[in-house]
Amino acid sequence: MLALILRRVLWMFPTLWIISIISFALIQLPPGDYLTSYITALEETGETVSLEQVAALRKRYNLDEPFVLQYSKWLNDLLPFGFRRAEDGAYLTVAHEDGRRSINWPWFKWPDLGTSFEWNRPVGELIGERLLLTMTISIFTLLFTWALAIPIGIYSAVRQYSWGDYTFSVLGFIGLATPNFLLALVFMYIGYSVFGVSAGGLFSAAYENAPWSMDRFWDLLAHMWIPVIVIGTSGTAGLIRVMRGNLLDELPKQYVMTARAKGVSPVKLLLKYPVRVALNPLVSTIGWVLPGIVSGSVIVSVVLGLPTVGPLLLRALENQDMYLAGSMVMILSFLTVIGTLISDILLLLLDPRIRYESRSR
């Protein structure tokens, strides 16, 4: 088991390196760059941009350099080791007071995600401002989804073809067929037309820009249930169907009949054996859950006006803000790889058959 985990950890590094190359290339794939759209926006307002200003801005944003050099500088800043950027932008050497220049190679440095073109602020600050709210919404959504999906899926499998099973199946199909953003629009319409309140945002107007306090926290919880239900509806419906189908596959198997014949109590039999095996597909999706906790549902966040990371990523991709978009894509990729590793470890602990198969190989 330790050898398998170590092998997976070692494979993480080349995987992330390949992902970084593909991500940085895809962000720069559309024609033009951020400076092109920025100059076009200035010209539409009637302002004229001289060639000297264009050249200065292109040099400031390192857009005058080839792709390989841009990628190398971005990756060097992103890694916790490498050349430290000097005040004049130099990486390889640093100037001293006596005129000497020496190699600037520290063993460790804090990762620098770069500076956003559009916001003219460090990428780490932009992501950090929205990360807490994004993780709060996503974790509540995850708990809501699993707390509903697992018991309902077990009930539907055990009471197959009952009225409860038919009811949950119909509701599940409706949840799968209804887009989340459409459900968000329905909530916003009902909230405004019936109750006279806005269903968008996470805070009331009085707490929008207020410092954190217990009152602001309770105001956040009062607004939290709408995005949690909207985002978690389709996920809950999908997991119900997965849990029901997996459990129905396990219940007729021989080991369940043998345990029942030995007199094992129905509840213990159900939870200890078939439910444990049926949870494998849910555990294997943790690789998607971790990046989802950070990114959230982008379209729902835009519709509801949520100050999360998702709309920030969408705007960075639209404006070709390559350092902001590239850093966020790398964070999501890193979380996906970590989530896949965690799901593999949990599957080894949850299902002994996987350990035996890995040993036989």
Most confident of 52-66, 131-145, 254-268: 254-268
pLDDT of residue 223 exceeding 90, the answer is no
The answer to pTM > 0.85 is no
- Give the pLDDT band of residue 157 (cuts 50, 70, 90): very high
- Which of 11-20, 21-30, 72-81, 95-104 shows the lowest per-residue confidence on average (mean pLDDT)? 95-104
pLDDT of residue 177: 86
Residue 78 C-beta-side C-alpha neighbours within 13 Å: 21
Strands 101-103 and 93-95 turn out to be antiparallel
Mean per-residue pLDDT for 296-323?
A: 83
3-state helix/strand/coil string of 81-109: CCCCCCCCCCCCEEECCCCCEEECCCCCC
pLDDT of residue 104: 55
Dihedral sign from CA coordinates of 317, 321, 326, 328: negative
For the chain, domain boundaries: 123-360
Looking at per-residue pLDDT, the higher value among 293 and 165 belongs to 165
pLDDT of residue 164: 92
Mean per-residue pLDDT for 276-284?
A: 81
pLDDT of residue 145: 87
Burial class (CB in 10 A: 0-12, 13-18, 19+), 67: exposed
Q: Which two tokens stand for residue 194?
A: 């019936």
Q: What is the CATH number of domain 123-360?
A: 1.10.3720.10
Mean per-residue pLDDT for 76-82?
A: 73
Which of 178, 179, 182 minimizes the C-alpha distance to 303?
182
Looking at per-residue pLDDT, the higher value among 152 and 226 belongs to 152
- Our CA angle for 142, 144, 251, nearest 5°, is 90
**pLDDT, tens only, 288-305:** 776 776 666 788 888 888
DSSP line for 243-275:
HHHHHHHHTTSHHHHHHHHTT--HHHHHHHTHH
Mean per-residue pLDDT for 104-125?
A: 74
